[in-house]
Structure 1
Amino acid sequence: MLETVGLTAAEGEVYRLLVATETASADEISGRSALDAPTVGRLLLALEDKGLASAVEDSAGRFAAVPPEMALVPRIRHHFEALEQTRAAVYELVETYRRGARARGTGEAIEIINGAAALRQHLRQLQSGAGHEMMWFVKAEYVAMSAESNQEEFDALGRGVLYRALYEQAYFDHPDSVDYVVKGVRAGEVARAVPLLPLRMAIADRSVAVLPLTASGTPANPRELRAVLVRESSLLDALIALFEHHWEIGAPLRVTEEGQIGGAGPADAVSPVADDRHLLSMMVAGMTDEAIAGQLQVSKRTVQRRIQGLMNLAGVATRMQLGWHAARRDWL
């Protein structure tokens, strides 16, 4: 998962092990992993070069982790700023391509959709015609089609179409959002969550995409809503790559038998109880404390107290460290 912030898989593993200890040598980390000591030594030096580890003074061969909030959070912030710039560039490219298509008298790759009703109709047709796969970016606040009205998804799932849906954190602020996700996952949807999505998007069979050109919810006048339909082109290839990039960094959303987002792996000697695993799964998925409290029907203070208890159980100091520890120990 840390590949997205510039680390190799091996560097990420060594960094996680280093975060879990105050200091460690190559031999000690090797004893906790499948890596030999010389390889760990090279990886520790690589982490030091990247600003994620530092050699301990007066202690030859020992390294300490630079705290994740100092080493990784700025990288993540820069990453999302770059994605926002990508979104703006995509919109600019759409407009440039549309103008060029008009000048050439063709509109084969780009089509402008005017109005919420027309967009809704295109989304229904897109799903009804899908034969293999649907890819969705789901942001907070729908612009044309609400989750509860999208029967076409369940019809397509029934035909064997793969649905991959990425939900941004703010989506779960809606009181019924968890129920919608649970219903979709139970029907066969594969869902993941990320802190932020750059745009709304649906892609069918990797051959056509629909993008509403609005930053927030439906305009006051639904007829003023604009969207773009993108057919096979270099622009469509870029949108597919954008989806796959976010998919790689997304946190999987599982559904328990009780119909809740969460799900526990094999327990260890000091693993959290089922209720805390459910809370932990929602936290890792990016839900706010308020949203978690609403789902669990407890106070925000109770959520924060329980998260602090999980941090104490894991022996970590930050929520980011707790997420890494939970993934490594199979608590999710």
Structure 2
Amino acid sequence: MLETVGLTAPEGDVYRLLLVAESASAGEISGRTGLDAPVVLRLLGALEAKGLAYAVEESPGWYAAIPPEVALVPRLQRHAEALDQTRAAVFDMVETYRRVARARGVGQTVEIIDGAAALRQRLRQLQDGARREMLCFCKAGYVAMSPESNQEQFAAHDRGVLYRVLYEQAYFDDPGSVDNVVTGVRAGEVARAVPRLPLRLAIADRSVAVLPLAPSGAPGGSPRELKAALVRDSSLLEALIDLFEHYWEVGAPLRVTDEGRIGGAGPEDPASPAAEDRHLLSLMVAGMTDEAIAGQLRVSKRTVQRRIQGLMNLAGVVTRMQLGWHAARRDWL
């Protein structure tokens, strides 16, 4: 899975083919992969824009791969380092809490929930009380509330609450999981996927979090023995939010087709930007200022900013860096 380093599955296939061949043309790649030549040209252009391939000057129309240790390993290392730093910060917060809990009486900051029934009730209360945003980690299986029984999510959608949900790859092995995700996305959920999640987590309005204290593996044990933590406003809560955002940045977006299938957005996706916005994105990713982009497109600076904000809303991101990342991953460039 190369989505973590910014490659779609088709881009990864073409890149692997270029690694095997000294160089290849779009026609040769089309013959080996069965993809149409225009699609191959688009994929080669995307790989070149991402710094993974280059056009061979001596042979027009031919491309060669940039070695993965140059093009991919640094990206992977940056993400791994960011996740390691966040994981270390969380464990440091946990140790700090354990060390000083008695001295400063933080019983009101972290509350222990006993039993599956109590956890189910708290999860419902958490969603009923949400007014702006819910952040969730969904692992395979469930420990207290099945996805089908979570009607509170749809009521929250009706109130305008934004759900950002990360699913780990193993989640989709559960029966009915794809249908559950499709239903959620169609209701307004913004979903992404990662290979693995470290824990189960739900955060409401960035002010309170709930996480089961069982090991991160498959759920087990008696429902009465289940314990969870409710974490209120604190440095530990901030660390959990940071952990969510780090995984969110590397997650692969999940979109739902008209046929009810899960798939990433491509050029044929109606949610993809128009051609003029793709041009704007390419200028932004190239590092041009808003003034320079406005000059290139012959529009006002305010128009450039408004269109970039619209693209951020379309991609479901909050920063321009995230927009550039997801534009590359969704093949919007």
TM-score (norm 2): 0.59
Q: Does 1:121 align with 2:124?
A: no
Q: Secondary structure at the match of 1:223?
A: coil
Paired residue for 1:237?
Answer: 238
Which ranges in structure 1 are unaligned for 5 or more consecutive residues?
A: 8-15, 24-31, 35-39, 57-62, 269-323
Q: Does 1:220 align with 2:204?
A: no
Higher relative contact order (CA 8 A, sep 6+): 2
Deviation at 1:265, TM superposition (A): 3.6
Q: Give the conservation status (yes or no) of the 8 Å contact 1:218–1:225.
A: no
Deviation at 1:262, TM superposition (A): 2.4
Q: Secondary structure at the match of 2:106?
A: coil
Paired residue for 1:183?
Answer: 183
Deviations 1:52-81 (A, max 9, x none): 899x9xxxxxx9644438963696489559
Q: Give the conservation status (yes or no) of the 8 Å contact 1:84–1:198.
A: no
2-side partners of 1:173 and 1:224: how far apart? Answer: 26
Measured at CA, do residues 110 and 81 of structure 1 come closer, stay the same or move farther in structure 2, by a change above 3 Å?
A: same
Q: Give the conservation status (yes or no) of the 8 Å contact 1:87–1:198.
A: no
Measured at CA, do residues 81 and 258 of structure 1 come closer, stay the same or move farther in structure 2, by a change above 3 Å?
A: same
1:61-140 pair list within 5 angstroms: 65-68=65-68, 72=72, 76=76, 79=79, 83=83, 86-87=86-87, 90-91=90-91, 93-94=93-94, 96-98=96-98, 100-140=100-140
Q: Secondary structure at the match of 2:108?
A: coil
Q: Secondary structure at the match of 1:107?
A: helix
Q: Give the conservation status (yes or no) of the 8 Å contact 2:112–2:230.
A: yes
Q: Give the conservation status (yes or no) of the 8 Å contact 1:256–1:263.
A: no
Measured at CA, do residues 143 and 100 of structure 1 come closer, stay the same or move farther in structure 2, by a change above 3 Å?
A: same
2-side partners of 1:228 and 1:157: how far apart? Answer: 25
1-side partners of 2:167 and 2:243: how far apart? Answer: 14
1-side partners of 2:329 and 2:112: how far apart? Answer: 45
Q: Give the conservation status (yes or no) of the 8 Å contact 1:111–1:228.
A: yes
Q: Does 1:328 align with 2:325?
A: no
Q: Give the conservation status (yes or no) of the 8 Å contact 2:4–2:252.
A: no
Q: Secondary structure at the match of 2:220?
A: coil
Q: Secondary structure at the match of 2:112?
A: strand
Deviation at 1:124, TM superposition (A): 0.8
2-side partners of 1:129 and 1:74: how far apart? Answer: 42
Deviation at 1:225, TM superposition (A): 1.7
Aligned length: 245
Measured at CA, do residues 78 and 107 of structure 1 come closer, stay the same or move farther in structure 2, by a change above 3 Å?
A: same
Deviations 1:207-254 (A, max 9, x none): 111111222233321222222111111221121111111111111111
2-side partners of 1:98 and 1:325: how far apart? Answer: 43
1-side partners of 2:265 and 2:93: how far apart? Answer: 44
Q: Secondary structure at the match of 2:262?
A: coil
Q: Does 1:162 align with 2:162?
A: yes
1-side partners of 2:88 and 2:220: how far apart? Answer: 20
Q: Secondary structure at the match of 2:196?
A: coil
Q: Give the conservation status (yes or no) of the 8 Å contact 1:138–1:167.
A: yes
Q: Does 1:196 align with 2:196?
A: yes
Measured at CA, do residues 245 and 82 of structure 1 come closer, stay the same or move farther in structure 2, by a change above 3 Å?
A: closer
- Which amino acid letter does the alignment assign opposite residue 267 of structure 2? P
Which shows bigger deviation, 162-171 or 220-229? 220-229
TM-score (norm 1): 0.59
2-side partners of 1:110 and 1:264: how far apart? Answer: 40
Q: Secondary structure at the match of 1:112?
A: strand
2-side partners of 1:118 and 1:240: how far apart? Answer: 23
Q: Give the conservation status (yes or no) of the 8 Å contact 2:139–2:171.
A: yes
Q: Secondary structure at the match of 1:219?
A: coil
Deviation at 1:326, TM superposition (A): 8.2
Q: Give the conservation status (yes or no) of the 8 Å contact 1:98–1:110.
A: no
Deviation at 1:168, TM superposition (A): 0.7
- Which amino acid letter does the alignment assign opposite residue 242 of structure 1? L
Q: Give the conservation status (yes or no) of the 8 Å contact 2:164–2:189.
A: yes
Paired residue for 1:153?
Answer: 153
Measured at CA, do residues 102 and 264 of structure 1 come closer, stay the same or move farther in structure 2, by a change above 3 Å?
A: closer
CA RMSD of aligned residues (A): 4.6
Paired residue for 1:37?
Answer: none
Q: Give the conservation status (yes or no) of the 8 Å contact 1:138–1:168.
A: yes
Q: Give the conservation status (yes or no) of the 8 Å contact 2:89–2:239.
A: no
